[in-house]
Amino acid sequence: DAGVTQSPTHLIKTRGQQVTLRCSPKSGHDTVSWYQQALGQGPQFIFQYYEEEERQRGNFPDRFSGHQFPNYSSELNVNALLLGDSALYLCASSWGGRSEAFFGQGTRLTVV
């Protein structure tokens, strides 16, 4: 079992650009949550996807959007990147959103 896998591991983008991050959940999991972890901070909840729909959303602007595919994998899209979007983006998967959440190793996004 490969666990939760995220790609890419590192990414450098320019202000104003758009970025797409990808996540494959742990086998048997159907729910994917995304978190943003700024340097020196705890992770902050962005949103959660279940049955291909956004089920819950944290306090993030509409520039942050996502998608879940029929195979439960997920994408996080960020438009009009700001310097403040630089962070480690973590994906977590669970079953039904109520079981233990397993985290991937994250994607380190740097906006210059």
Partner 1 sequence: AQSVTQLGSHVSVSEGALVLLRCNYSSSVPPYLFWYVQYPNQGLQLLLKYTTGATLVKGINGFEAEFKKSETSFHLTKPSAHMSDAAEYFCAVAYSGAGSYQLTFGKGTKLSVIP
Site residues (vs partner 1, CB under 8 A)? 4, 31, 33, 35, 40-45, 48, 50, 55-56, 58, 90, 92, 96-98, 100-106
CA distance 35 to 56: 12
Q: Would you say 48 or 68 has its CB closer to partner 1? A: 48
Residue 1 CB, shortest distance to partner 1, in Å, is 15
CA distance 45 to 35: 5
Q: Would you say 101 or 109 has its CB closer to partner 1? A: 101
For residue 8, is the peptide bond before it cis, meaning its omega torsion is within 30 degrees of 0?
Answer: yes
Q: Would you say 38 or 80 has its CB closer to partner 1? A: 38
Q: Which two tokens stand for residue 56?
A: 């819950």
Phi/psi of residue 84, each to 5°? Answer: -70, -10
Residue 43 CB, shortest distance to partner 1, in Å, is 5
Residue 11 CB, shortest distance to partner 1, in Å, is 15
Residue 56 CB, shortest distance to partner 1, in Å, is 5
Q: Would you say 70 or 96 has its CB closer to partner 1? A: 96
Which residue spans within 1-112 are E strands per DSSP?
5-7, 10-13, 19-24, 31-37, 44-50, 53-57, 64-68, 74-78, 87-94, 102-103, 107-111
